[in-house]
Structure 1
Amino acid sequence: GTRFSSGPPVRGFLVAPAPRRRWPRRSPAASPQALEDHYSPSRWGCARAQTLLHVPYGSGDREKLDIYFPTDPSETFPALVYIHGGYWQCMSKDDSGFAAPPLVSQGVAVVAVGYDIAPEGHMDTMVLQVRRSLAFLAEQYPRIRGIYLCGHSAGAHLAAMVLSTDWTEFQVVPDIKGAVLVSGVYDLEPILHTYVNDALNMSREVAQRNSPMRHVPPAVPAACEVLVAVAQHDSPEFRRQSQEYSQALRAAGWSVSLLDLAGVDHFDVIEKLSEDSYLLTQVGSRAVPRQITCQEVQGQGLFTGCSSSQVILNMISRA
């Protein structure tokens, strides 16, 4: 596991100070009002998109999807599947609609995934639920012509686990064409002895079984494009894991880019998805000119060269 140079282990992993400003001290204990203030843009998704809310993909209370359809859908359309973060123990799909407006306006559906969270939910269950949600989409919504995963923090971990799925167990193979993994955790062992694991109660075996770094499958010809994004002001551990996971994907033959985002921290790196001009927002739309490409920085320098919507949207335009 990773050793930390000073302070309790969780500081090294989650709240290490950044060079120019301290890493924000938000936690699973944040007040409901603070979370509402921070994630109220979710309401914009409902107001500005045609939606299906609480669509069950299983029998559990949290096994539901919120689907935001394109404002002017074509016969078929791509879908961005968003998996929320929250230390695997807070937040929900209901806080995820903020990502919808700039994408649905460009012909892209947005699907927010609900899953069990700790302490009721266990890591094995969360991973299985997210995989099952993708199988459900593939079976029930044939108009979706390509699925693009997007996850933040714990959600990026779950999205990365989707990439390692053996779909023969599900009798369906979702058409996953891309993945945008934002400030994710790809090796769970370093958090075993932090407060984050108090609610998760993971053993070493569970952590290893659910660590994407340990389960990178060899790329097949149809393997999707992967964008691993990390914030300039993320903690050193998040930045290290993002670099090492992108290197592991590349070594296995995947098409992967590492995106180092300037001027943002672990939280506003994803919250800005509600802004049309934000760079990550545009990883999702067909409307972006093909000459706008994702810059691979490999840990050297910061990506500041184009608007954030241009990277999700451009990934779709290349498919």
Structure 2
Amino acid sequence: MMPNAEIDLEAEYNNRARVPDHGVHIAAWYRDAAAYRGSARCELDLAYGPGERHRVDFFHPDDEAGGPVVLVIHGGYWQALDKSSASHLARGANMRGLTVAVPSYDLAPSASLAEIVGCIERASDFIAERTQRPLVAAGHSAGGHLAACLMARPGGSRRPIRVGMPISGLFDLAPLVSTSVNAALGLRPEEAHRLSPLHLTPPQDGRLVAVVGGAESSEYFRQSREVVERWSAAGVDARVHIVRGAHHFDVMVGLADPSDPLVDILVSLAADA
């Protein structure tokens, strides 16, 4: 189902305008991420490809049991931010015994969205091959889109990912074509369709928990509902999880807290990976 033609798509997808103090939240991400890198058991800036941004950080629990690795993919509408904004999101899973990998990836406009998807697929293959463990795909906003793409593997990733938790993800890219988000992406309608997880084939016997903030726009709710409906019809165990009262810039902060429901979901997904 496409959004209602009367909806102001620019307002629906312009998250920075919807949350005027977004800068405060982003500054806190970088502060908390740097603090966690300073205290965590981590391996930083491992190269998974030849590019300057083809780097991944690993965060290890104190008691590493060798289970699945959680892949946390940062957001930024495929055109901003990097892994150093998301390190602290590994804390909750680490404290529950899970290893976490946080990659950077190429950004628009220097890279097309298809190239960005291919980039994150190379990162996931590197992580899986290095650890020889299954992966749980998680990510925020654009990272949620990329996490779902990894599960559907439109670029032919060599190591399938069956379980994932996209947070405030984008699964139907068609509405973005007419918004300012597309200025850097340059998406054409056919490419938006081809790279939308809503229209891709999900993994057989997979699990998906689409997380969305209770204070997010109606379009973000629609996106999460529709991917759950479409993938459920294809046989995926899929559901929506709402973080009550959360907006686009604080919906994922619970990942830093080992007792948060988002971390409970990751642990549950890891058990099925």
User: TM-score of the superposition, structure 2-length normalised?
Assistant: 0.91
What is the CA-CA distance between 1:114 and the residue it aligns to? 1.0
Matching residue's letter, 2:72: Y
The structure-2 alpha-carbon separation of the partners of 1:51 and 1:211, relative to structure 1 and needing over 3 Å to count, comes to same
What is the CA-CA distance between 1:225 and the residue it aligns to? 1.5
What is the CA-CA distance between 1:204 and the residue it aligns to? 1.4
Q: Which residue of 2 aligns with 1:266?
A: 248
For the residue of structure 2 that corresponds to 1:269, the secondary structure is coil
Matched, 1:79 2:69: yes
Matches within 5 A, 1:105-254: 105-142=95-132, 144=133, 146-165=134-153, 169-170=156-157, 172-174=158-160, 176-217=161-202, 219-220=203-204, 223-254=205-236
Matching residue's letter, 2:184: A
What is the CA-CA distance between 1:275 and the residue it aligns to? 2.3
Q: Deviations over 1:133-158 (max 9, x none)?
A: 1111222222x3x3111111111011
The structure-2 alpha-carbon separation of the partners of 1:52 and 1:216, relative to structure 1 and needing over 3 Å to count, comes to same
What is the CA-CA distance between 1:3 and the residue it aligns to? 4.5
Distance, in Å, in 2 between the alignment partners of 1:26 and 1:83 is 23
Identity %: 28
Distance, in Å, in 1 between the alignment partners of 2:154 and 2:116 is 16
Q: Which residue of 2 aligns with 1:2?
A: 3
- Normalized per residue, the structure richer in helix is 2
The structure-2 alpha-carbon separation of the partners of 1:211 and 1:252, relative to structure 1 and needing over 3 Å to count, comes to same
Q: CA RMSD in A?
A: 2.3
Structure 1 range deviating more: 268-277 or 117-126: 268-277
Matched residue pairs, number?
272
User: TM-score of the superposition, structure 1-length normalised?
Assistant: 0.78
Q: Which runs of 5+ in 2 are unaligned?
A: none
Distance, in Å, in 2 between the alignment partners of 1:180 and 1:231 is 13
Distance, in Å, in 2 between the alignment partners of 1:264 and 1:214 is 28
Q: Which residue of 2 aligns with 1:12?
A: 12
CA contact (8 A) 1:13 1:236 kept: no
CA contact (8 A) 1:4 1:12 kept: no
Distance, in Å, in 1 between the alignment partners of 2:89 and 2:4 is 35
Structure showing greater Rg: 1
The structure-2 alpha-carbon separation of the partners of 1:254 and 1:6, relative to structure 1 and needing over 3 Å to count, comes to closer
Structure with larger RCO (C-alpha < 8 A, sep 6+): 2
Matching residue's letter, 1:77: G
CA contact (8 A) 1:84 1:155 kept: yes
* Match 2:47 to one of 45, 56, 77: 56
Q: Which runs of 5+ in 1 are unaligned?
A: 17-21, 283-309
The structure-2 alpha-carbon separation of the partners of 1:253 and 1:204, relative to structure 1 and needing over 3 Å to count, comes to same
Q: Deviations over 1:46-105 (max 9, x none)?
A: 13321111111111111111111122213x222110011111111111111011222212
